Amino acid sequence: MSDSKSPKSATERKYFGTDGIRGTANVHPMTCEVALALGRAVAHQAKHGDHRHRIVIGKDTRVSGYMVEMAFASGVCSMGVDALLLGPLPTPAVAFITRNMRADAGVMISASHNPYEDNGIKIFARDGFKLPDAKELELEEFMTCDDVEAIRPTKDEVGKAFRIDDALGRYIVQLKSVVPPSMDLEGLKVVIDCANGAAYKVAPMVLEELGAEVVALGNKPDGRNINHNCGALFPQNLAKAVLEHGADLGVALDGDADRLVVVDHKGEVVDGDCLLALTAQSMMADGTLAGKTLVTTVMSNLALDRAVEGFGGQVIRTQVGDRYVVEAMRAGDFCFGGEQSGHLVYLDHASTGDGMVGALKLMTMMKQRGKALADLKKVFVPFPQSLVSVKVQDKKPIAELDSVRKLIEDVEAKLGGDGRVMVRYSGTEPKARVLVEGPDAGQVDAWANEIADTMRSILN
């Protein structure tokens, strides 16, 4: 199976990808000029009613965050809207603060797991949910229209910028509410790797306030070390620390802390699909999995469907991107979903993926059941899966790549109903993703690399 299109046809989108706008900072489209134009567009789109309008702006720890933040805030103020500057905070914290402060929109400046030289901009509506494709296209249209000059405010109608000093405390209170009031985390020793990113303060603080013994890694950002040999991209460091400190588990976050990677006390990485299966089982058992349904993306392992069906539930799949998971959850009135990459979405607690909410839910589960994660994770055994990334210079539709298409069809025929092939372009990077699942690990790996090599030779 191939997926050559981004939502709403990639050719119609000038700036937005799968998760906001992203690229090398100070290189188009991640320039001050684009940030200012987008700030104007978001402010214009958010203005409804006669009240004084406000937009909250958060960021991760990249050195370019100052530049992008100031440019975006200038665009907001130029449209007569106030900019509320939160400073370094996780993406889910910005979504929460947007709702909590009754702001008209929220903005997160982050390139998530990308290296420090990149940056990005994500937009949240006033309800804390990411914008749908249609709203993003409206923003793009306003950014390039000629109507701005006619609607510029002047005098005292120009917006102001304010620093919000209590945003961190508000989010800490929200996170602590995830753990039942009658419970704490005493007795758990946790290694937390903050990726030198947006959660470098809040993650250790929450765990310590809840009573856990905490070993903090990646909590000394310098503007350039975000995601560098730390965090969710480098779970081997987390595994090593868990073993060295004799911890009960380890949690690694990415740069903006909207996803997590978990390691058990044996130093073994627990797959994101395993976390989804484990949580679905627990929620099915206590009757809190709405519609007995888990929502995930096409990237999740086929074994997840079979595991959840074994618990008496069902799996619904969406295209890649946690916002599409959330859209499907809201449409079906479901409460839990996520991605294989570690985005876990609990709509009862957050409007987007939240690495710390996922971690706290997992620790609560361990405490309630009195079991180690190494024992809990046995509910899920994944099919062998190989995922290969291919750097590409041109994202030609895969259906037009005859040799690649024929190779995919050949592999799918050999797999029959015991596996699958997924080939798609990344919405945030110049890469293609080749995923193959099947019963034989060696064969799956060989097929994935064969397809990847073929794409590499054609597209580069």
CB atoms within 10 A of CB 211: 14
CA–CA separation, 38 and 104 (whole Å): 15
Question: In this structure, what is the dihedral angle of CA atoms 209, 336, 120, 254, given to the nearest 10 degrees?
Answer: 50
CA–CA separation, 394 and 430 (whole Å): 8
- Return phi, psi of residue 379, to 5°: -70, -15
Identify the active-site residue in 110, 112, 300, 351.
Answer: 112
CA–CA separation, 91 and 275 (whole Å): 21
- Sorted by sequence, the CB contacts under 8 Å of residue 109 that are 6+ apart come out as 57, 58, 59, 60, 65, 68, 69, 72, 119, 120, 121
CA 359, 364, 367: angle at the middle one, nearest 5? 130
Q: At what angle do helices 167-176 and 202-209 cross, to 10 degrees?
A: 50
Enter the tokens of residue 265.
């006390």
CA 136, 315, 132: angle at the middle one, nearest 5? 5
Per-residue burial over 249-270, b = 16 or more CB atoms within 10 Å of its CB, e = otherwise: bbbbbbbbbbbbbbbbbebebb
341 carries an active-site annotation = no
Enter the tokens of residue 116.
């420090």
Compute the residue count for the chain: 460
Residue closest to 329 by CA, chosen among 355, 362, 291, 302: 291
Distances (CA, A) of 217 to 240, 362, 364: 12, 20, 22
Enter the tokens of residue 61.
């720890």
CA–CA separation, 361 and 175 (whole Å): 10
H, E, C per residue of 266-323: CCCEECHHHHHHHHHHHHHHCCCCHHHEEEEECCCCHHHHHHHHHCCCEEEEECCCHH
Q: Which residues are catalytic?
A: 112
